[in-house]
Amino acid sequence: MGERIIVAGGAGYIGSHVCVSLLDAGYSLMVIDNFANSHPESLSRVRQISGVNDPDRLTLVEADFARPEDRARIIDAICSFRPAGAIHLAGLKAVGESVAEPARYYATNINATFGLIEGLEAAGARQLVFSSSATVYGDLNANPISEAGRTGPTNPYGHTKLMIEQMLTDLTRADERWRVCNLRYFNPVGAHPSGLIGEDPNDIPNNLFPFIAQVAVGRRETLQIYGDDYPTPDGTGVRDYIHVCDLARGHLRALEFLSDGANGGAHVFNLGTGIGYSVKQVRDAFAVAAGRAIASQIAPRRHGDVAENYADAHLAAEKLNWTAEKTLAEMCADHWRWQSQNPNGFAG
């Protein structure tokens, strides 16, 4: 049996894909999730995709790091699992909501991290891969963005990501047994090619791909394109979209990297493709994948958006031996398969 890994937030969109990657690579997992923005069904689907029926390969602790009454139970569960380390994806992630409810964002995201650190300390498992975000670069206008670029989040969600990166880095400075990878995701999209797991937003989607997918499936009328007067080739915003399965594989490589004795300390890696696509390019690629037109109209710019944002992904290629492989067409085809097979997400 392979190593044992905690996946905090493992039932969520990215977490469920990470679970599939790790199970396929032979790891045994303990998922800790409170299902605040996820569904237990996603873990049943993970089992189905991976063909893992042995409960010891994938166990679930339904608990909330932020609830004091859950804390001891989580720490006991982590200790009895005897993990080698953890992947930390537990947290709230909506930019706009974080502006409206900053206290909830700081309390939830920071407390989840404290709880996980406490559990890992108690279990003597000091390897952690953290789900950070390119949002830590804020409005840095220096594309492609490298890890050396200055940070400066522009919203509370981004601040929590940067604060957690700092906390974890400080742990590695205080105690050399700690090893950390902070993974700065660009724009995760797509779904597992099986169509069994994918992103299942609770409300009206904020992000481009889920919104387009809901227009394509008939749940929404029209895509609003937020601005067509940016200094980009077609005037619409440009982003570095990365297939969630490529992203998940990046976590596997980060775990392998940390378990190599030579790689102590804290490390930061961008996970992106290095290629930027505009809103119109994405709309058109999705229309091809779905075999239907996506109705759209130009709307004013969205407050806080930047014109262009894409990664310099060389460091991950060099150190993690990882590069994104899937094309925009595959991102759209896989996202569409998930959406069309599950028009209402996991709720059925």
Q: Contact with ligand UFG (CB under 6 A): which of 28, 34, 133, 172?
A: 133
Residue nearest to ligand UFG (CB): 237
- Compose the 173-192 pattern: x for residues touching ligand UFG by CB under 6 A, - for all others: --------------x-----
Q: Cα dihedral angle (232, 233, 236, 241), rounded to 10 degrees?
A: -90
Number of residues in contact with ligand UFG, rule: CB under 6 A?
20
What does each C-alpha distance from 179 to 66, 143, 255, 346 come to in angstroms? 24, 29, 10, 35
Nearest C-alpha neighbor of 237 from the set 285, 296, 302:
302
Q: Contact with ligand UFG (CB under 6 A): which of 288, 302, 321, 329?
A: 302
Q: Minimum distance from CB of 237 to ligand UFG (Å)?
A: 2
Q: Cα(252)–Cα(272) distance, rounded to whole angstroms? A: 15
Phi, psi of 343 (to 5 degrees): -55, -30
- Answer yes or no whether residue 269 interacts with ligand UFG by CB under 6 A: no
Q: Cα(287)–Cα(241) distance, rounded to whole angstroms? A: 16
What per-residue string of b and e applies to 6-36 under the rule 16 or more CB within 10 Å gives b? bbbbbbbbbbbbbbbbbbeeebbbbbbbbee
Q: Determine whether 157 is an active site residue.
A: yes
Q: Minimum distance from CB of 160 to ligand UFG (Å)?
A: 11
- Compose the 60-99 pattern: x for residues touching ligand UFG by CB under 6 A, - for all others: ---------------------------------x-x----
- Answer yes or no whether residue 150 interacts with ligand UFG by CB under 6 A: no
Q: Contact with ligand UFG (CB under 6 A): which of 45, 239, 326, 335?
A: 239
Work out the angle at residue 47's Cα, subtended by the Cα atoms of residues 213 and 3, and round it to the nearest 5 degrees.
115
- Answer yes or no whether residue 283 interacts with ligand UFG by CB under 6 A: no
Q: Cα(171)–Cα(125) distance, rounded to whole angstroms? A: 13
User: 92, 157 in Cβ contact below 8 A?
Assistant: yes
**Among the candidate windows 83-91, 218-226, 286-294, 324-332, which touches ligand UFG by CB under 6 A?**
218-226
Q: Cα(323)–Cα(269) distance, rounded to whole angstroms? A: 12
Q: Contact with ligand UFG (CB under 6 A): which of 12, 119, 149, 237?
A: 237
- Answer yes or no whether residue 305 interacts with ligand UFG by CB under 6 A: yes
Instruction: Out of 105, 157, 185, 241, pick the active-site residue.
Output: 157
Which active-site residues does the annotation give? 157
Residues that bind ligand UFG (CB under 6 A): 93, 95, 133-135, 187, 206-208, 211, 223-226, 237, 239, 279, 302, 305, 309
